[in-house]
Amino acid sequence: MFERAFLFSFTVNLVSHHFHFFFQEYFLFFKVLINVCSLI
């Protein structure tokens, strides 16, 4: 039971970290896209 809870928390941490990183990358891409659109 304890191992399962530990694995679950580890997975949640990993997923949230990956999601945060992905969100940052996406936000950067979106900002660049807006800048390019404003130039055109």
**Domains in the chain: boundaries:** 1-40
C-alpha to C-alpha distance for 16 and 36, rounded to whole angstroms? 30
Pick from 15, 9, 12: nearest CA to 1: 9
Hey, CA dihedral for 8, 9, 14, 19, is it positive or negative?
A: positive
How confident is the model at residue 1, as a pLDDT?
A: 65
C-alpha to C-alpha distance for 21 and 16, rounded to whole angstroms? 9
pLDDT in tens, 13-37: 988 887 878 888 889 999 999 999 9
How confident is the model at residue 28, as a pLDDT?
A: 92
